[in-house]
Amino acid sequence: MAIATVNPATGETLKSFGAMGPEEVERRLATAETAFAGYRTTGFDERTRLVLRAADLLDGDRDDIARTMTLEMGKPIAAARAEAAKCAKAMRWYAEHAAALLADEEPAQDDVHDSGAERARVHYRPLGVVLAVMPWNFPLWQVVRFAAPALMAGNVGLLKHASNVPGTALYLEDLFRRAGFPEGCFQTLLIGSDGVEKVLRDRRVAAATLTGSEPAGRSVAAICGDEIKKTVLELGGSDPYLVLPSADVERAARTAVTARVQNNGQSCIAAKRFIVHTDVYDAFAEQFTAGMRELKVGDPLLEDTDVGPLASEQGRTDLEELVDDAVRKGARALCGGGRPEGSDRGWFYLPTVLAGITADMRIHQEETFGPVATLYRVRDLDEAVSVANDSPFGLSSNVWTRDSAEVERCVRDLQAGGVFFNGMTASHPAFPFGGIKRSGYGRELSGHGIREFCNVTTVWHGASS
């Protein structure tokens, strides 16, 4: 696969990059190993200083890196600036909280004495060099939410970014260098997907994290399983969005539009399947469809654009095939359903709402990575939960209700890594993020995320005399 910046709004190749050869990859692996040997012994005060410096630099670079992201993968420029700001916020959060999150834990004294110890504690130590295989859809945020906790824990990072966002990948390496991190603490590998296995199997790589597709996750998990190396996987999602009779329908419909088309609809945690109780279905469908129809599709560099292009021509083709299959089998497009008129350049697709979804349609089980929503009418909460769980994915979920019994039922029964009530799913550094089923395993963010790549060490002291 070519490593290049291709503007998805025009299809124009802006810049191409040569893949790193074996000698350069080897040099960077050796540099990472050397960096870890020293960096692992730094204290939290020094790590905090470096991460805070990176956050300050990122704030200063916000406009420039936002433009880079928009040109590389097509997100609206306002969303790109917001992504950069969110990354700086996450860096500061981990700089402030890491020492407490990784503080030694003291077992109960009764258990310590029962074990025959005079004293004992649980200590968190960094694992080493962690390879991050990252996607293009949030090219800054996906990396920072790994890098900030990993660096604060004393690990060092290698980044294999998606091949269509090389400018963002190189920026990240430069950001941490300018912040003053020792050489080799964070490096980008400009390699194709065919070069990942060799790096994963290298003895100097201790663990890996991947955000991306299910096939990519299977591959990385299989290789690391063979090598007995720790992995964290955040894969696809087909998140349900339940609207129940007690919901504020107007607010639920308005929020649903944002939840579906955020990042041009190319988000694992975007709501995709809208499951609506029959009592409020008609009102919700009308308002939701109207909101989707009103969105402005166009040049993502313009401030008033709501939805830009899909990131690649293949991505649009995949989306078209899912929609066409559904329509052939009886689904109805309440709005959208194709390319905008006159869109002879770029990979644009209209915001779309499909009703009448049935189980034999591909779109019922496969993830839609673009601004296409599927709409389901259900009789009661039992059916709503059943439809929500009828998916191979389990990343997050959204529920609109003011009924406390329905809240407890959904917390208990929805098969997902998160349940968001009366709002849309969003990631925040304080809360764990990840999924179940084919959405992956392990957690990012919060204390759970920073401990994923730590050696959880039991320290036991017998009586000294």
Instruction: Let me know: does 291 contact 253? Beta carbons within 8 Å.
Output: yes
Known active-site residue 12? no
In residues, how long is the chain? Answer: 465
Task: Please list the helix, strand and coil fractions of the chain in percent, rounded to the nearest 5, in that order.
Answer: 45, 20, 35
Q: What's the DSSP call for residue 265?
A: G
Task: Indicate which residue of 72, 83, 173, 234 is catalytic.
Answer: 234
Amino acid identity for residue 226 in this structure: D
Contact, 131 vs 205, CB < 8 A? yes
Q: Determine the distance from the C-alpha atom of residue 167 to the mean position of all C-alpha atoms in its chain, rounded to a whole number.
A: 19
Is residue 277 within 8 Å of 252, Cβ to Cβ?
no
Residue 268 annotated to the active site: yes
Distance of alpha carbon 86 from alpha carbon 144, whole angstroms: 9
373 strand-pairing partners:
353
Unique residue bearing structure tokens 């050397």: 34
- Element at 123 (helix H, strand E): strand 119-126
Taking the C-alpha atoms of residue 431 and residue 44, their distance in angstroms, rounded to an integer, is 21
CA distance 49 to 371: 41
Structure tokens at 321: 């095939």
Q: Give backbone dihedrals phi and psi of 249, rounded to 5 degrees, phi first.
A: -65, -40
Max CA distance (Å), the chain: 85
Q: Whose structure tokens read 């920073």?
A: 450
Tell me which residue of 101, 388, 129 sits closest to 239, measured CA to CA: 388
Asked if residues 381 and 403 have their Cβ atoms less than 8 Å apart, the reply is no
DSSP letters along 161-193, please? --TT-HHHHHHHHHHHHHTTPPTTSEEE----G
Decide: 145 and 443 in contact? Cβ < 8 Å. Answer: no
- Single-letter amino acid, residue 212: G
Q: Catalytic pick from 87, 268, 335, 410?
A: 268
Count CB neighbours of 112 within 10 A.
Answer: 17
- Residue 30 Ramachandran class (φ > 0 left, ψ -120 to 50 alpha, else beta): alpha
Cα first-last separation, the chain: 65
The DSSP call for residue 222 is H
User: CA nearest 400: which of 392, 391, 388?
Assistant: 388
Residues annotated as catalytic (active site), given as ranges: 234, 268
